[in-house]
Structures are given as structure tokens and as C-alpha cells.
Amino acid sequence: MAEEVDLLEQRVEAWIQDDIDQADRASLSDLLRQMRGPDRAESEAARNELVSRFSGPLRFGTAGLRGRVAAGESRMNRATVVRATAGLADALLASVGQATTRGVVLGRDARYGSSAFQRDAAAVLLAKGFRVWLLPDTVPTPVVPFSVQCLDAAAGIMITASHNPGCDNGYKVYWSDGAQIAAPIDSSIARSIDVQPSPNSIALEPPESHFGCEERPDLIQKYLETMDRVSWCPNAPVQELEVVYTPLHGVGGAIFLECCRRRGISRILPVQEQFDPNPAFPTVTFPNPEEPDALRLAMKQAEIRGADLVVAHDPDADRLAVVVKEPTQGWLILSGNQIGSLLAHYILQQDEPNSPQRLVVNTLVSSRLLEEMAKQMGVQYEETLTGFKHIAKAMMAAEERGLRAVFGYEEALGYAVSPLVRDKDGISAGLLILELAAALKGEGKTLWDQLATIHRKYGLWVSLNWSIGVDGLDGPAQIKDQMDRFRTAPRAFIESLNVVAVRDLTLAVPSIPLVIFELHDGGRLSVRPSGTEPKLKFYLEHRVPWPESVNYADAQKRASLLLQAAANKVAELVGGTFS
């Protein structure tokens, strides 16, 4: 035990010596003092905190970096950002032509530390001779990949933790093609970071030299002009639509309202308590629009105002949530699969119907309704691994083959409705869903009515997603153990779900931590660890019968009971019950 404490102290002291931030050094020194102090409870708490902060380096992966903001090797902090940027810069110099003159786009959200992290990234890049394109103030994440394409930049960096808890921040990288980094680029950047020296020996341009950054507020205007073109029905009566909107204390509010104003969507009512960016996220326990609690205030306002629907963005505005009112059940939060189905059907109906050169894309854990829709409409379909970077790459590759990739989505509320942004974009998706809702309203219909029409034609596909969170340093081991239970699932489990085939992608080359159970009705159960949080994630889908004599709401209720029962069988395998 004493040996472990000595080793921990040595690692903490070494980090303090190498850290570039005075406040971070002081916080670690305080924890060391408390750990060495006479108060047993305080000492134990400080030791546990230091063990957590020094449980291994924050690894650079396909999502870049993401973690809790604090001092220490396992946290997001200035020292981590400086080393990451130095590694990224060296990787760009080694593999991207004219990288320094093409430059790097830098954007940030409003989370804790974002401003300092953006400044540090700029300081490292300038010191290495890179041109730096600085997006002013805070911006939604989609503006960064859009700007990379506009400027033909070598890369883009967005400081954001997306929809993670308020204590987190992150560092997302876009490559020279304007898409998120993917293998093998991510690994080469990670290797470059690993060989960087200590943060305090990495050259930084002094703060007064930051005039070397080139601020580009005009890129915001270009983005707005581009959003004006994301439209299939310019004559939709959008002025008749009444919408409640929330950016969940994030950075999408001002740009989205301006996009709506330019489109003529005038009756859009912001949730004022959640409109201004606020890193504390004071009105929500978790700033993820997939969580019902996050949309509570918006639904309450929509009910009071008698609005047609609710739309919401996550804090960096690359995801979109939609809430509609069903006559018998009240306000219902649509799933990512339901929104994806609505957008796909709308686009495919409007965009050169009967053209075989069109392609739609979604992921292995998203609804198979899109595949059925594509089949019946004569459209090519592709399925990718989880993560929007794979969708973007598939859409780009299709265009190189002479196809037109017109739509891509993942069930986690991410949609690409235009090739103008090579990533998920909640702003453009939000504009298009409002246009569709307005067009339907002009016909006396709602988004819920349209879902019924889609499900009647292509089958009633119903899905349920949930996750199991794990805490503590043994979290990765717990997740591996739970994944192994599904990889070696007993026959009784297989039979209880009517499984017809099992695909274990952990045995594939390259290995992917994903197990898929193909179900008898064409649906699936997929199980995988989260790529950004300590969670095991489950995706369940069934295709259920829908007799002509049963209305849509009742069919959905019956399907929900079926999903709940199946989810409980899944939960039993890991020693719990679904709730």
C-alpha cells in the first residue's frame, strides 16, 4: 500500500512540475497536502480523487478527447490540450500537403475551459508555423467542418463535449476533407501525441501574438447562406407554424433563430430559461436531448402556448430532438429513428423520385426501416459502423463512385440532410423538419400522421434504446465482463428472443466491440460499449404486425409492451431489470 502511495505521489509531483496552469498545479498540490494530512477521512478522499485523476492518460481516439475538466493526466485541462495540439500539428505536417499555409480552423462552445483551450491550441499551432483561422466567440460544431471545406484548411478543431455532463469538455478534430477523423488517421495522431515532450517544454506563441490568428466572422455568414439552400419546399407555409425551441443552454440558439428568421419561420418561441449559453446547465440534470427531463420546460411551454411541435438542439447543436403532440397521449418525444424516417421519406420524395443514383446511409444500430424504404423506392442503401464519421465517409465514397448521397442518419439524433456539411448538423436538420411540419400542416396533417403513413407503407418498425452506466476505476472491466456475457449468451436467452443469427464483431478484422442478435421478425438487438462515456449501450428493434383494424396510437402501445418485455429479458442477462 505504501509503495502504491509513493508511486502515486511521484506521478502527481511530476505532473505538477510539467503543468502549464498555475491553478491546476495548486489544486493538485492541495490534494497531495490533504492526502498526507492527519485527517483520515480527508486523506482517503484526496487519495481516491488523485487515483481517479491519474488512472492513465486521457487517450486520443475517434472522438478526439473528452473528459472531466480538472488537473491530472486523466482529465481535460490545458496541459492535455497543449500536448494534443502539438501531436496533431506534427501529424498534419507529416501527411497533409501545404498544411501550414492551408491552416487549421478553431472553434469552441461555451463550456468550462473552452476559451482557454482554444487559446492554447492557437498558441501551439502559431508556434509551429500554422495559419490559424479563428471562429469568433462560440459556434455550433457543424460550423467547423463547414469552414474547413470553405477554406480548404488542413484540419479543424472544435472544443466541445457535445451533450456530455456540464463537468466535461472535449477536443474534436476534423481532417482536411471536412469530415471527422477516422482510422487510421486517429491512430497516427495518437502516436504523435504520445511522443510529445512535457507541456511546459512545448513552444507557445505568447498571448500578445494571437493577432496572428485570422478571425473569420464571415464564415458564419457563409454558413447562414448555405442553410438558406437546404430546402425542398420553399413555398411551405412556415409562417403558420408555431414552434417552441430550446438550445439547452448551448451555442445553437442565436444561429438557429437567425436561420429561421431568414426562412420566414416567425412564430418560433425560445425557452428563455435555456436560451443563453451556460456551462452550468442549471435547468437540466443532463444536457442530452435524448433525456426526457431535458425537454420538460419546452414541453410545458408548448402545452401552454398550444404549439404545433417542439424542437431542441444539444449544447453544440449537431443533434436534433423533436417532440410532437398525439391526440390521445399528449406530447411524445420522437426517437432518432422516427425523426430519421421522417427526414429520409421527405427528401426521397422530393429529390428526383425514381432516380437509382441516390444513396441513403445509416448505422448498424439504427432502424432497418430506412433499408426497407430504400428498397421500395429504388434507392441504394448502405449500412455503417456506429459513429457519424463512418456515415460521412460512406457518403463521400459514394459520391466518388458517381452516386448522390442524399441523406444519412444515426439513431442518436444525428442527421446529414445535405452534403454541404460533412458531419451531423442539427441546424440544417431542424430547418428541414420545420419545413416538413409546415407543409403537412398546410394539408391538415402532423408529423405524427406522417409517421403513421410511413409505417403503414414500410412496416411498423419500433425501437428502444437504453444504457447501463458504470462508475469507478473498474468500469472498463465491468463493461468487458458484461459484453462477454452477450458474446457467450446461453441458449435459453437466444430462444427467449427468437434469435435467428448472432454476429460478433469483436471477432472481426478489425475487431469492433459490437454484438448483434438478428431477430426472427427482421429486427435486431445490438450491444456495445459507448465510445465517449462509461456505459454499455443497448439497441432493440422489432418489426411488429399492424392490423388494419388497429389505429396507430394503439399499435404503438402494443409494440411498446413487446419491447419492454424483450428489454427485461436482456436486462436479466446482466443481473437486473429494465426500467
Q: Among the options 27, 114, 147, 162, which is catalytic?
A: 162
Q: CA 280 to CA 544: how far, in whole Å?
A: 42
User: Beta strands 132-134 and 358-363: pairing type?
Assistant: unpaired
Over 351-389, what HEC string results?
Answer: CCCCCCCEEEEEECCCCCHHHHHHHHHCCEEEEECCCHH
Cα 216–Cα 153–Cα 384 angle in degrees, nearest 5: 115
Q: Is there a contact between 292 and 277 (Cβ–Cβ < 8 Å)? A: no
Q: CA 405 to CA 369: how far, in whole Å?
A: 18
Q: CA 525 to CA 538: how far, in whole Å?
A: 7
Residue 181 φ then ψ, to 5°: -65, 150
CA distances from 217 to 37, 113, 122 (A): 52, 22, 17
Q: CA 498 to CA 495: how far, in whole Å?
A: 5
| 3-state secondary structure at position 541 | strand
Q: CA 153 to CA 38: how far, in whole Å?
A: 55
Q: CA 125 to CA 477: how far, in whole Å?
A: 37
Residue 311 φ then ψ, to 5°: -125, 150
Q: Catalytic residue at 162? A: yes
Q: CA 341 to CA 350: how far, in whole Å?
A: 14
Cα 11–Cα 16–Cα 20 angle in degrees, nearest 5: 135
Closest CA to 297 of 288, 284, 309, 306: 284
The set of cell numbers assigned to 381 is: 442503401
Catalytic (active-site) positions: 162
